Structure 1
Amino acid sequence: MKRILFLCTGNSARSQLAEALMRHMCRDSAATIGQFEIMSAGMAPESVDPRVYEVLNYHNINADNLTSTLASSLQNQHFDVVITLCDKANKECALFPDSDALIHWDFKDPKPLSDSQGFYDVFDGLKAKIALFLMLNGDNQSDTIGAVELFKIMSDPLRLRILMLIHDERALSVGDLTKALEVSQPKVSRHLALLRDSGVLHDRREGVWIFYHFPTDLPQWILHTLDTVRNGQPALINQEKIRLSAIKNRKKPQSIN
């Protein structure tokens, strides 16, 4: 179980919303239920702002047992991830030097506002951030490669186009890629071997055909990165897809999901 700590200055608004919301979202997700222990703390704790309860009650989220905690009282505990929610807390993350990850989500303090709208806005922003965090850090994770290695792989234009084509088609053979990319088979094979050896692609034989595809246990953060590139640069492989669609009687895999 991963231990998550939300850290803010007063532990009276933003971090309380984050703690209650993430607990709620974890219970609603089969991929994350029982995977996280969530806490919050503040550098100079204050009482929980009543508008926190208003927002949580409006969204039918359990607001019981919310208490303000002094961050320094937790500094001897290990947290897998410490998420700071304001600039001041971000400067104090040295309190938890053994944490596996330190993340900063900067949200404007809603307390100085006279009404509750700022609290609702913070809630909406936190919901989007937490949803992405849970999607990328739930089950089905593996130690395939790190971010540096992935971006090195994607920095090569040919490898990037190979990944984008397989992203669309689910699986492709060396012959299909050679025709779509208009490069030699040995060159395509060299790049496919690198992608396979890194763990980003798997190969599978069906008769005389070998198809390359993404492994089923590819980490969600890698899939999300590939999705972002594909949707952010939709015209990247237009010509390749046209050439691919022009291949007559193209063999397609039968057993790759």
Structure 2
Amino acid sequence: MKKNILFLCTGNSARSQLAEALMRHMASDQYQVMSAGMKPEDVDPRVHQVLAERGVCADNLQSLSAIDIHDQHFDVVITLCDKASNECALFADSDALIHWDFKDPKPMEGVEGFRDTFDGLQTRIALFLMLNGENQHNVVGPVELFKIMSDPLRLRILMLIEDEQALTVGDLTKILDVSQPKVSRHLALLRDGGVLQDQREGLWIFYRLAEQLPVWIRHTLATVRNGNPGMINQEKLKLTQIKDRKKPGFSLKTHSQIGA
């Protein structure tokens, strides 16, 4: 079943019209998309100009009053300006209320402001669709994830596995300088929480990120790793010094393959 998504801004004449057309273009059949305004005005002609330049269909774009559709249920409501964000109470039964603040391009001369808004919306929508795809499962919620990551040892374990893709208990014990029971205890917690999965290969058991891990969690782990590149330097160096280290022979999907 398609989810209903609403883009909301003040005039429903520029930002929300671009967002509506873009979401329809990028999301295919995932969402039923609408836009509305608190004080609707005619659609700015520059909206059509920019959409035509970028090859995005502008059919059926029209200004709507948020008041007229306040009794409709929307799974997601995304506001695009501060004034509209104050009117979210109109759609209090929505499953998700999101605010993206974009500067109004209408007062600017020419078309460049509309092009910049289009580009910004395209980036936001692409990320939204990547993190909210049809195959995403709520294995673990944000609160649980950040509780897991709040422990320094568990965080290093996750960063190492995110980096190496698969490691054994023995590998982690050697490079983290902690006892095997302690490492195993943390691995078991991560596995039982749905973040990791284990896979046996001969005498070795490898731990890897769970195949059904939502993309938003993978994205969070990758962001932490890339934003703190020196976090596990010493552990990485120790890993290279392990002689005859057993590496997995099974196929490992990359992040891009899983998120595709």
Mark yes or no: TM-score above 0.5. Answer: yes
Cα shift readout 1:212-242 (whole Å, capped 9, x = no counterpart): 1111111010000011001100111011011
What residue identity is the alignment partner of 1:164? M
The equivalent position to 1:250 in structure 2, one of 235, 245, 252, is 245
1:104 aligned residue: 99
Q: Measure how far apart 1:113 and its partner are.
A: 1.4
- Write the mapping of 1:29-48 to structure 2, written as runs, cut at 5 A: 34-48=29-43
2:12 aligned residue: 11
1:30 aligned residue: none
Q: Does 1:156 align with 2:157?
A: no
Quote the Cα distance in structure 1 between the aligned partners of 2:93 and 2:110: 39
Secondary structure, in 3 states, of the residue corresponding to 1:218?
coil
Q: Measure how far apart 1:256 and its partner are.
A: 4.3
Quote the Cα distance in structure 2 between the aligned partners of 1:4 and 1:97: 14
Quote the Cα distance in structure 2 between the aligned partners of 1:151 and 1:120: 37
What residue identity is the alignment partner of 1:7? L
RMSD of equivalent CA atoms: 0.9
Quote the Cα distance in structure 2 between the aligned partners of 1:111 and 1:253: 56
What residue identity is the alignment partner of 2:51? L
Q: Measure how far apart 1:152 and its partner are.
A: 0.7
The percent identity for this pair of structures is: 71
Secondary structure, in 3 states, of the residue corresponding to 2:223?
helix
Quote the Cα distance in structure 1 between the aligned partners of 2:152 and 2:114: 44
Secondary structure, in 3 states, of the residue corresponding to 1:103?
strand
- Write the mapping of 1:218-229 to structure 2, written as runs, cut at 5 A: 218-229=213-224
Please, what TM-score do these two structures have when normalized by structure 1? 0.95
Q: Does structure 2 conserve the Cα–Cα contact (< 8 Å) formed by 1:180 and 1:244?
A: yes
The number of residues matched between the two structures is 251
The equivalent position to 1:54 in structure 2, one of 49, 52, 56, is 49
Secondary structure, in 3 states, of the residue corresponding to 2:77?
strand
What residue identity is the alignment partner of 1:201? L
2:136 aligned residue: 141
Secondary structure, in 3 states, of the residue corresponding to 1:109?
coil
Moved over 6 A (4+): none
1:31 aligned residue: none
Quote the Cα distance in structure 1 between the aligned partners of 2:248 and 2:69: 53
Quote the Cα distance in structure 1 between the aligned partners of 2:135 and 2:230: 30
Secondary structure, in 3 states, of the residue corresponding to 2:93?
coil
Quote the Cα distance in structure 2 between the aligned partners of 1:212 and 1:141: 21
Quote the Cα distance in structure 2 between the aligned partners of 1:240 and 1:256: 24
Q: Does structure 2 conserve the Cα–Cα contact (< 8 Å) formed by 1:171 and 1:256?
A: no
The equivalent position to 2:187 in structure 1, one of 176, 192, 205, is 192
Quote the Cα distance in structure 2 between the aligned partners of 1:66 and 1:48: 8
What residue identity is the alignment partner of 2:60? N
Q: Does structure 2 conserve the Cα–Cα contact (< 8 Å) formed by 1:8 and 1:15?
A: yes
Secondary structure, in 3 states, of the residue corresponding to 1:142?
coil
Unpaired runs of at least 5, structure 1: 28-33
2:86 aligned residue: 91
Quote the Cα distance in structure 2 between the aligned partners of 1:6 and 1:102: 10
Quote the Cα distance in structure 2 between the aligned partners of 1:44 and 1:35: 28
- Write the mapping of 1:121-136 to structure 2, written as runs, cut at 5 A: 121-136=116-131
Q: Does 1:203 align with 2:198?
A: yes
Secondary structure, in 3 states, of the residue corresponding to 2:134?
coil
Cα shift readout 1:158-188 (whole Å, capped 9, x = no counterpart): 1011001101111111000001111111111
What residue identity is the alignment partner of 1:210? I
Secondary structure, in 3 states, of the residue corresponding to 2:174?
helix
Quote the Cα distance in structure 1 between the aligned partners of 2:77 and 2:26: 18
What residue identity is the alignment partner of 1:157? P
Secondary structure, in 3 states, of the residue corresponding to 1:41?
strand
Quote the Cα distance in structure 2 between the aligned partners of 1:52 and 1:165: 46
The equivalent position to 2:75 in structure 1, one of 62, 73, 80, is 80
